[in-house]
Amino acid sequence: MFSRVLVPVDFSEKCRRSLDIAVNIASRYEGSIDLLHVIETLVDTEYSELESFYRKLEREALKDMDDLVAPYRDGTVDIHTDILFGSRSLEILNYAQQRNAGLIIMNSHAVDINQSAQGWGTISYKVALLSQCPVMLVK
């Protein structure tokens, strides 16, 4: 059922909770985890114009990804890491489809019930709305 769990990460404390939950679920189903970080690229700007900037962000993300995965290197569950460039929500959705994810677990911020429309533009909302597989939002 959940043999492949996708966890998009932004390296916040909340994403650690998402990863903890993913490890718990994946280990129960003898599954694996795809840990994904997407570096947002600027619209209407050629990648080559900012390549050195993006590569610096990628190096930092690789280090952060390694730090995030370190506590789970005991072999309990297989964790695959990837870093992509582009629109975060679109890259997450495409990656989930390409990797045949059975579940996406990602963090989301709490939305004030009186101003719920403010949450509609978030990455987690877009992913939850457009995903072809179940999405668990961790607050």
Residues 79-138: pLDDT tens digits?
999 999 999 999 999 999 999 999 999 998 766 666 655 556 789 999 999 999 999 999
Structure tokens at 40: 């947002």
Decide if 92 contacts 43 (C-beta within 8 A): no
Read off the pTM: 0.90
Residue 20 CB contacts under 8 Å (≥ 6 apart), including other chains: none
Residue type, 37: H
Distance of alpha carbon 7 from alpha carbon 137, whole angstroms: 10
The phi and psi torsions of 38 (rounded to 5 degrees) equal: -115, 125
**3-class state of residue 3 by DSSP:** coil
**In which element (H, E) is residue 85 found?**
strand 78-86
* Digit-coded pLDDT (tens) for 46-74: 878 898 999 999 999 999 999 999 999 88
Decide if 87 contacts 126 (C-beta within 8 A): no
Domains and CATH numbers, the chain: 4-138 (3.40.50.620)
Distance of alpha carbon 130 from alpha carbon 121, whole angstroms: 13
